[in-house]
Amino acid sequence: MTEIQQIDFTMMYVTHDALRRDVGRFAEAVAAGRADSPAVRAGWENFRAQLHVHHTVEDDDLWPRLYRAVGGQPEQLAMLAGMEAEHAVLDPMLESVETALIGGDASPLGERVAALTVALDGHLRHEETSALPLIQAVLTPKDWKGFGAAMRRAQGLKGAGVYVPWIVDGASAADRKRFFAVLPAPLEMVNRLVFEPRYRRMGLWGV
Ligand SMILES: [Fe+2]
């Protein structure tokens, strides 16, 4: 009997949590009347860039691996189509937040950020409860590594320099430890000495 190899989903969960944290910070900034500050603008731009890379690599690398693995099973195909559709629904919502952000006081920015928060959280939860179990069932750790490599290629070294400190921004000591445990050992020190000081100077969200 072949033993099922567990896939480590740490990177997926920490990325989803960082995305949730950012929309939460955005909503707080809007409520506090700080939405037009450069720090919020910079936080929003980084959030969009992180989400774009995350979804693009899922669309281009992860879902195709799953489509190949599930063959013609209708329920699983429908779930995967749902993942793509949810990504597509989020795009115009991001645009509508962007428009409201540029529009200033009169625009319904708070409502649009609230709608984005609900849609994003719904999508991430759907992915965590439906797509990740399917990945565990039909893909191999080698597939997962391939997806991770595609993600790193899309980010590049410059992107990693922001992604790593962005993930641990505001994280507890225990969460930081868990995150760095799945990365190559030198990254924790590189982050502390190089990435994190640079990231802090970006002053995202003004927090
Ligand atoms: Fe994801």
Fold that domain 10-206 belongs to in CATH: Four Helix Bundle (Hemerythrin (Met), subunit A) (1.20.120)
pLDDT of 102 higher than 80: yes
pLDDT score at 120: 98
Write out the H or E segment, with its range, that includes residue 117.
helix 109-126
Per-residue pLDDT reduced to its tens digit, 166-194 = 999 999 999 999 999 999 999 999 999 99
Q: How far is the CA of 58 from the centre of ligand 1 (A)?
A: 7
Going from N- to C-terminal start, the domains of the chain cover 10-206
Q: How far is the CA of 139 from the centre of ligand 1 (A)?
A: 16
Q: How far is the CA of 158 from the centre of ligand 1 (A)?
A: 21
Q: How far is the CA of 16 from the centre of ligand 1 (A)?
A: 6
Per-residue pLDDT reduced to its tens digit, 17-27 = 999 999 999 99
Q: How far is the CA of 33 from the centre of ligand 1 (A)?
A: 30
Query: Residue 6: what are its φ and ψ, rounded to 5°?
Result: -70, 135
Q: How far is the CA of 128 from the centre of ligand 1 (A)?
A: 8
Per-residue pLDDT reduced to its tens digit, 115-173 = 999 999 999 999 999 999 999 999 999 999 999 999 999 999 999 999 999 999 999 99
Give this prediction's pTM. Answer: 0.95
Does residue 110 contact residue 27 with C-beta atoms inside 8 Å? Answer: yes
Q: How far is the CA of 107 from the centre of ligand 1 (A)?
A: 30
Other beta carbons within 10 angstroms of residue 162's beta carbon come to 18
